[in-house]
Amino acid sequence: MPIIINKNIDQKVFWCLWKIEETEEELLVKTFEDETSFEHIKNKHNRLQTIASRVALKGLLDSLQIKYKGILKDEIGKPQLIDVGMSCSISHSKNYALVAVSKNSDNDAIGCDVEKIQARINRLLFRIATNDEIAFADANEVKGTKIWCIKEASYKAFGKLNIEYKSQIITHFKDNEPNQVIIKDVSENQNCYQLQFEQVEDTLLCFAFN
């Protein structure tokens, strides 16, 4: 199906959610990239998600009247738009592909994550969440998934290896809702990201941006 949501945040961050209902062949005709670009992805479902994310990214840039020329990935796998002075982030889960771009061209400007809301996430939070974050989740499946998404989106935005989720990605709250993340790297430098959330049916989207 076509794009189901196409939105912006403060005219700086633009994002698109695509619900994957097409076959691989149907998606390939929607992007200029040929199937050889995806041959290295052996898992069929992962390959379908990847192609869908490219189609969503092309559709998002088309809506901004920007020509999509493909993406490259840096040494840790962070996507970078070819010949476009914007940063981007990609996520997929189940039958959704989520893409986001930012007018801020810094490589650490935007991260996104899409996750199905699941109660089981709360059982795993102790591995990645601070006591304050676990207290916020309070065994609630939506809040627990929100914390999980925050960690993933912030990590993607920061774009560096060897960041420990629990001790270095810290959620800050306002009026008992997460609104900001501070990431400390090994040099004690701090990166601050604003947070934005959307819920679509049983799926949660999170955006971390500066």
The CATH-assigned architecture of domain 114-209 is Alpha-Beta Complex (3.90)
Total residues belonging to the chain: 210
Q: What is the mean pLDDT of residues 15-25?
A: 95
Query: Which pLDDT value is given to residue 90?
Result: 98
Task: Kindly tell me the sign of the dihedral angle through the C-alpha atoms of 13, 18, 24, 26.
Answer: negative
Same fold, 3-110 and 114-209: yes
| pLDDT tens column, 125-147 | 999 999 999 999 999 999 999 99
Q: How confident is the model at residue 107 (pLDDT cuts 50, 70, 90)?
A: confident
String of DSSP letters for the chain: --EEEEEEETTTEEEEEEE--S-HHHHHTTSS--GGGGTT--SHHHHHHHHHHHHHHHHHHHHTT-----EEE-TT--EEETT-SSEEEEEEETTEEEEEEES--STTSEEEEEEE--TTHHHHGGGT--HHHHHHHTT-HHHHHHHHHHHHHHHHHH--SS--HHHHEEEEEETTEEEEEEEE-TT--EEEEEEEEEEETTEEEEEEE-
| pLDDT tens column, 145-192 | 999 999 999 999 998 888 999 999 999 999 999 999 999 886 678 899
Q: What is the mean pLDDT of residues 18-24?
A: 94
Per-residue pLDDT at 58 exceeds 90: yes
**Domain range annotation of the chain:** 3-110, 114-209
CATH 3.90.470.20 holds for 3-110: yes
| pLDDT tens column, 61-91 | 999 999 999 999 888 889 999 999 999 999 9
